Amino acid sequence: MSSILILGASYGSLLATRAAMAGHQVCLVCTPGTADLINAEGTRVRFPVRGREQLVEVDSRKLPGSIRAAAPAGVQPANFDLAVLAMQEPQYGEPGVRQLMDRLARAAMPSLAIMNMPPLPYLRRIAGLDADGLEPCFTDARLWDAFDPDLLSLASPDPQAFRPVDQPKNVLQVGLPTNFKCAPFASEHHTALLRRLEADIEAARYDQEGESLELPVKLKVHDSLFVPFAKWPMLMTGNYRCIGDEEMSPIANAVHDDIELSRSTYGWVAQLCLSLGAQPDDLVPFEKYAAAARSLQKPSSVARALAGGATRIERVDLLVQSIARQKAIAHPAVDRVVERVDARLRRNAAAVERRVA
């Protein structure tokens, strides 16, 4: 049994639930109000299960492991075996979380990021990549200075999940039940911890009304550093192309309204990943992604954030463009995405300044 610290109680509660199903102890880091709610009522994660019309709701209070929650100030990372970074990149610089990140780095414990934006120390593990030149892509690159790259791994956040708008903050619903695809740590000793967690989640079952159910969304540990980068072509083809000059569109529309442009964009980003050292088997074929995207009938979280006035978001778009520029290549669709995001961020920042004035 492991003790796991997960920063982020929204998306993080998905992996927390699968770990607690396998008997592990999990602490979710979140705001004080959400922590009080989780500690009083547990978490609820709703899974689609093949062969069942209704979602299966998993109550954390009924699991063999445990899920508790705490505000950042009350957490000592040294008390845990593994940390999981399940917030969006700009959130790590927020008051309280920044100080926890400093304690996490000084504790020198293995940390697994389940983020679209790979942490800067992870990028330092990629041979031939100028990580220093990528610092402008991050909200605050200095936040990552104390982290040892060898102690940081990355999992592709492929499962899609959301908080239903009419439900409290301890409820999460899984929309696309795929797996977390995880890269190894530099040390096999630390990777072994992930492999044990992978095996435990694989074996775990959930008992409902006398039936033992195998639930989706598992942890899959791979040998390649590049497996999590399989998300980049998806993000640049769907999630970031939801962002229009004025409006946003569902991911399905962003992908299928101009399927040939989507194919071109996806293939170009995939080739960029291959140029970094990825192998074809590390990536997902365009046809498989395009088929899955048909079910994604909402705009991406990054598009919704910009539409809601956000002034800071994860800049995977800028990261992909910046890596491509290091290799002296470009794609017009990627450049258009970056231009749109830059423009929306400037507009949102100007709106905030007007309100303050």
Tens of pLDDT, residue by residue over 242-256, are 999 889 999 999 999
CB 163 within 8 A of CB 173: yes
Does pLDDT of 330 surpass 90? yes
What sign for the dihedral angle of Cα 204, 195, 88, 238?
Answer: negative
Task: For 260-299, write each residue's pLDDT tens digit.
Answer: 999 999 999 999 999 999 999 999 999 999 999 999 999 9
Q: Which phi and psi angles does 268 have, rounded to 5°? A: -65, -45
Residues 6+ apart with CB under 8 A from 56: 46, 47, 48, 49, 206, 208, 213, 215
Q: Count the domains in the chain.
A: 2
Question: pTM score, two decimals?
Answer: 0.96
Looking at the fold, whether 284 and 159 belong to one and the same domain comes out as no
**Domain carrying residue 254:** 227-356
Number of neighbours of residue 206 by Cβ within 10 angstroms: 19
Query: Domain boundary at 190, 221, 252, which?
Result: 221
Residue 93 and residue 17 share a domain: yes
Q: How far apart (Å, rounded) are the C-alpha atoms in residues 331 and 317?
A: 12
Q: What is the pLDDT of residue 26?
A: 98
Among 204, 221, 238, the domain-final residue is: 221
Q: What single-letter amino acid sits at 141?
A: A
Which residues are paired to 156 by β-bridges?
181
Domain end (from 180, 199, 221):
221
- Are 211 and 308 in the same domain? no
What CATH number has the domain bearing residue 313? 1.10.1040
Tens of pLDDT, residues 159-188: 989 999 899 999 999 988 999 999 999 999
Residue 297 has a pLDDT of: 92
User: Cα–chain-centroid distance for residue 313?
Assistant: 13
Residue 206 to residue 215: CA distance in whole angstroms: 7
